[in-house]
Amino acid sequence: MMEFIQRRLVALIVSLALGLASIPASAEQITDNALENERPTASAMLADAILARPMLLALTAAGTALFVISLPFSALGGNTAEASKTLVIGPAKTTFLRCLGCTESQDRWKNVDSEPVAQQ
Q: What are phi and psi of 100, to 5 degrees?
A: -65, 120
The reply to whether 12 and 62 lie within a common domain is no
The reply to whether 39 and 15 lie within a common domain is no
The reply to whether 68 and 95 lie within a common domain is yes
pLDDT category of residue 30 using cuts at 50, 70 and 90: low
Looking at the structure of the chain, the number of domains it has is: 2
Q: For residue 40, give every residue at least 6 positions away whose Cβ sits within 8 Å of its Cβ, in sequence order, or none.
A: 48, 99, 100, 101, 102, 103, 106
The reply to whether 23 and 36 lie within a common domain is no
Which of residues 17 and 61 earns the better pLDDT score?
61
The reply to whether 67 and 90 lie within a common domain is yes
pLDDT tens digits for 49-75? 999 999 999 999 999 999 999 999 999
Residue 46 in any domain: the answer is: yes
pTM: 0.59
In terms of residue numbers, what domain contains 18? 1-28
What number of CA atoms fall less than 13 Å from residue 17's CA on the CB side? 6
Contact of 105 with 34, CB cutoff 8 Å: no
